[in-house]
Amino acid sequence: MNKIITLTMNPVVDKDTSVAGVTPNKKLRCVSPTYYAGGGGINVSRALKKLGGSSLCMYVAGGPPGAHLHQLILEEGIEQKVVSIEGWTRENLSVTDTLTNLQYRFGVPGPNVTKEEWHEVIKLVEENVQKGDYLVASGKLPLGIPHDFYVQVSEIVTKNQARLILDTSGDALLPSMKADIFLMKPNLAELSILCGVDTISVLDLEPLAEKFLKKYSVKILVVSLGAKGALLATQNQMEHIAAPTVHQKSTIGAGDSMVAGMILSLTQGKSYTEMVRYGVACGTAATIHPGTQLCKKEDVDKLYKWISSQNVKKQ
């Protein structure tokens, strides 16, 4: 069976806690925090594990937070390969106000990654990617890494006859579009940047998706629409997948859960429609739990059944 490899260049240790009321200039006594391994590709690997799949999780890490990250991934039973860096792995904080049920998320920049360090990542990719594999490159790039880094990764993936799944943002987004991409999952804001427009209306979405596929070397485009589901677009298919309405507790890792569900579906030989339906179910399932718990298979199965029943194609 073709393996799934995830690549995370800007991982994080996510700290999740709660407090009864967020007010300024006052000491806020939070509950004991829960720690999660985080960052795009790492979240994809964690979600895959929860769904009954497996992956090789590759990432960079440094300092005591990096050691903590390694231990957190080890405890989840995920195979991992780490490139050690001098900079310290970042730590993010999410705080839920239990009086208002609002979540506050505090993110910090990642460390600087040197040329020698990211070159080690390139070597690691070359050593591990084989024919038929899926490489999931997910997340923003930290300081020190060139904006076209994912293009360099894609050249190795293509040479080894594997397939690249890309889910990135920030400064790396536009430069990465020179890559040969099998599947890409932008949200509306990212798609607007890629298409050179300020905003995207419902009426504009499908024409812009067609324009995107003609302009870039992307086989499958899945536009994440948040609580409204997703748009599946290929050269021969255009389909909107609706999402169920749920009570959201946290949106952290929802997109990564969606990617995990889609890749797992691909390895199981499911159609593109089934792939996106399952991905939407996974993304929705991740939002009904606090912190970075990601999706749970029992929730996903129920949501997938609902989505499939609501999206039956008319004959």
Among candidate residues 14, 133, 167, 256, the one labeled active-site is 256
Question: What is the per-residue pLDDT for 312?
Answer: 59
Using only C-alpha atoms, what is the Rg of the chain? Answer: 19
Surface-to-core class of residue 278, CB atoms within 10 Å of its CB (0-12 exposed, 13-18 middle, 19+ buried):
buried
**Residue located via tokens 């990211």:** 118
Asked about 148 being catalytic, the answer comes back as: no
Question: What is the per-residue pLDDT for 13?
Answer: 96
Distance CA(42)–CA(139), nearest Å, equals 9
Tell me the pLDDT tens digit for each residue of 177-212: 999 999 999 999 999 999 999 888 888 899 999 999
- Non-local (6+) Cβ contacts of 33 within 8 A are 15, 16, 17
Closest-CA residue to 87 (of 164, 191, 9, 34):
9
Question: What is the per-residue pLDDT for 314?
Answer: 42
Question: What is the per-residue pLDDT for 279?
Answer: 95
Tell me the pLDDT tens digit for each residue of 135-159: 999 999 999 999 999 999 999 999 9
In this prediction, the residues of the chain whose per-residue pLDDT falls under 70 are 1, 291, 311-315
Question: What is the per-residue pLDDT for 201?
Answer: 84
Question: What is the per-residue pLDDT for 315?
Answer: 35
Residue 152 tokens read as 């360099």
Q: What is the phi/psi pair of residue 147, to 5°?
A: -65, -20
- Non-local (6+) Cβ contacts of 10 within 8 A are 39, 40, 90, 110, 139, 140, 141, 142
- SS3 state of residue 162: coil
